[in-house]
Structure 1
Amino acid sequence: MKIQKVYTTTDVHVAGEAFRIIHNVPLIHYQSLEQLYEKFPQMYEVEKNLLLNEPRGFAGLNGCLVLPPISPEADAAVLFFNHEGTVPVHYGGIVAVITALLECGHLQTNETSEYKIETLTGVISVTAIVEQEEVVSVRLESDPCHVIQQDVQLAHSRLNTKFSLVQADQVYAVFEKRNLPVEIRVEDLSELKSWACTVFQALDSEAQVQAAILLDDSALDVGRIKSITFREDQFIVRSPGFGPTFACYTSLLAKGALRSEQGLVNESIFESRLAAKVAEQTENVYQFTVTSRGFITGLQTFVLDPTDPLAAGFLLK
C-alpha cells in the first residue's frame, strides 16, 4: 500500500443521523468562513469524496470541518457539507461537533455550560451538559422560521395533494399523510421512496424547495408527530431532522393545529426522536429550542492510496 494522504475523523450520530468530523485537512488561506465556503468545492473535492462516499462512507453521511474560530466570541468554527456540496448550517451537526470537542478534550468544559459555535450563518449558542466526562444533553435555538405559502397544489396527474412551503434552515415542502395509503415505517420504505420520486418530479417548478417532508400528525393530541424527510437528491434524512422538526412545528402552528405553549416530539421512521418547543414568537415567525445529544461511534484514520481504483468512492441509493 502506498500512502499519499492521511486523515483522522470522529464519527458521531445524533438521533440516528451520522456525522463525520474531520480534524486534519490540507491548509488553505482564507479570511472568512464565507470565503472558505466558496473555495471548498474545488479545494476539498478529494477529501469530500474520500471521506463521505462509499466504501469509506455512505449515502447518508454528513461532513463537518472543524476550524479555529474567526469570531473572537466563538469557541470553534465549523463548515458543514454533504455529498452535494457545502451546507450553510446543520443543527444536528452542531450537536455532533460540540459533543466530539468536549468528550475528546479538544474544548475545555466551563462552569456555565454555554458554548458558541461559528457557522456560515453566524455564531450559534449551545448549552452542553457534561456529566462524568460525557455530554448528556445539548440544547440550542433555531433561527426564525415561517410559512412562505400554505395549501400549495402539487401539479401532478398521479398525486392530488397540497403542501406548505416553510422556511426553516432551508425551504421545505411539508405534506400531510392523511390521504396517503401508506405508513411511515421501514416496511413501507419502497412505497415512500416512490412517493418522494413523484413529488420531486412535480416540484421541478418549485425551484426553491430543498427537501420534502411527509408528516403524520395522527398523534398530535398527545404532542407527537412522525415524519420522514427526503433531500433534493432523494436521500432520506437519517433522523427526525432538526430543520424538518422546526418546519413541521411551524406548519402546524400556522394552521392552528397546535398552540405555541405546547411542546412537540418528532419521531423518525427509525423511531429516533427529537423534542422541541417554542422559544419565541413574533406574529407568524417562530424560533424553537431543541434538546438532543450525540454519541461518538468511532475514532478513525483514513488513508488515500494513489493506486486505489475507488479513491473517489461511489454512492448507492
Structure 2
Amino acid sequence: MIIQKTYTATDVHVAGQAYRIVKDGPFVHYQSIQELNEQFSLAYQEEIKLLLNEPRGFAGLMGCLIVPPFKSDADAAVIFFDHYGTVPMQYGGIVAVITALLECGQLKARPSNVYRIETINGVVSVTAAIKDGEVKSVKLKSGPCQVVQVNAPVSYFDLNTEVSLVQADHIYAIFDKAELPFEIEMENLPVINQWGQKTIEALEGKYAFSRVILLDHSQKSEGKIKTVTFRPDRYIVRSPGFGTLAACSSYLLRNGDISAGSPIENESLFKGKLRAEYSAQIETSYEFSFSARGFITGMQTYVLDPTDPLFAGFLLK
C-alpha cells in the first residue's frame, strides 16, 4: 500500500444521523468563515469524496470541518458539508461538534455549560450538560419557522391529497398520514418508500420544496409525533430531524392542534427521538428550543492510496 495522504476523523451520531468530524485538511488561505465556505468545495474536493463517499462513507453521512474561530466570542468554527459541497447550518451537526470537542478534550468544560460555535449563519450558543466527562444533553435554539401555505391540492395519477408548506431550515412539504392505510414502522419501509417516490414526483414543478414529511400526529395530545422525511433525491433522512421537528411543530401550532406550552417529541422511522419546546413567536414565525445528545461511534484514520481504483469512492442510494 502506498500512502499519499492521511486524515483523522471522529464519528458522532445524533438521533441516528451520522456526522464525520474532521480537524485536518489542506492548508488554504482564508480570512473569514465566509471565505472558507466559498473556497471549500474546490479546495476540499478530494477530501469530500475520500471521507464521505463509499467505501469509507455512505449516502447519508454529513461532514463537519472544525477550524479555529474567527470571532473572539466563539469557541470554534465549523463548516458543514455533504457529498456535493457545503450546506447551511446543521443543528444536529452543532450537537455532534460540541460532543466531540468536549469529550475528546479539545474544549475545556466550564461551569456555565455555555459554549459558542461560529457558523456561516452566525455564532450559535448552546448549553451542554456534562457528567463524569460525558455530554449528557445539548440544548440550542432554532431559527424562525413559518407556515407558508396550508391545504394546497396535490394530484398525481391516483394520488389526490393536500400539502402544507413550512419554511424552517428548509422548505418542508408536510403530508398528513391519517389518510394512508399504513403506519410509520420499519416493516412498512417498502410501501413508505413508494409513497415518497410518488409524492415527490407529484410535487416537482408545482411547489417549491426541499424536504417532504409524512406526519403522524395521532398522539399529539401526549406530546408525541412520528415522521419520515424524504430529500428531493428520494433519500430518507436517518434522524427525526431538527428541521423536521420545528416544521411539524409550527404546522401543529398554526392549526391549533397543540398548545405553546406543550413539549413535542418526534420519533423517526428508525426509532430515533428528538425533543422540542416552544420558545417564542415573532409575528407569524415560531422559534423552538431543542434538546439532544450525541454519541461518539468511532475515531478513525483514513488513507488515500493513489493505486486504489476506487480512490474517489461511489454512492449507492
Give yes or no for TM over 0.5. Answer: yes
Per the TM alignment, residue 81 of structure 1 is displaced from its structure 2 partner at its CA by: 1.1
Q: Match of 2:218?
A: 218
Letter aligned with residue 7 of structure 1: Y
Q: Match of 1:271?
A: 271
Q: Stretches of 4+ moved more than 4 A in 1?
A: none
Alignment of 1:89-238 (within 5 A): 89-206=89-206, 208-238=208-238
Q: Match of 2:311?
A: 311
Aligned to 2:194, what secondary structure does the other structure show?
A: helix
Deviates more, 1:67-76 or 1:150-159: 150-159
Distance 1:266 1:14 in 2: 13
Distance 2:29 2:198 in 1: 44
Letter aligned with residue 195 of structure 2: W
Letter aligned with residue 80 of structure 1: F
1:262 counterpart = 2:262:
yes
Distance 2:84 2:47 in 1: 13
Letter aligned with residue 174 of structure 2: V
The one-character-per-residue Cα deviations of 1:197-226 (angstroms, maximum 9, x if unpaired) are 112212221563111111001111111000
Aligned length: 317
- Percentage identity across aligned positions? 54
The one-character-per-residue Cα deviations of 1:47-67 (angstroms, maximum 9, x if unpaired) are 111111111001111111111
Q: Match of 1:64?
A: 64
Structure 2's unaligned 5+ residue stretches are none
The one-character-per-residue Cα deviations of 1:30-76 (angstroms, maximum 9, x if unpaired) are 22222222222222111111111111001111111111111111111
Aligned to 2:39, what secondary structure does the other structure show?
A: helix
Letter aligned with residue 120 of structure 1: I
Distance 2:152 2:302 in 1: 46
CA RMSD of aligned residues (A): 1.1
Letter aligned with residue 118 of structure 1: E
Distance 2:262 2:244 in 1: 18
Aligned to 1:160, what secondary structure does the other structure show?
A: strand
The one-character-per-residue Cα deviations of 1:218-261 (angstroms, maximum 9, x if unpaired) are 11111100001111222111110111010110111111111111
Structure 1's unaligned 5+ residue stretches are none
Aligned to 1:218, what secondary structure does the other structure show?
A: coil
Aligned to 1:316, what secondary structure does the other structure show?
A: coil
Distance 1:256 1:193 in 2: 30
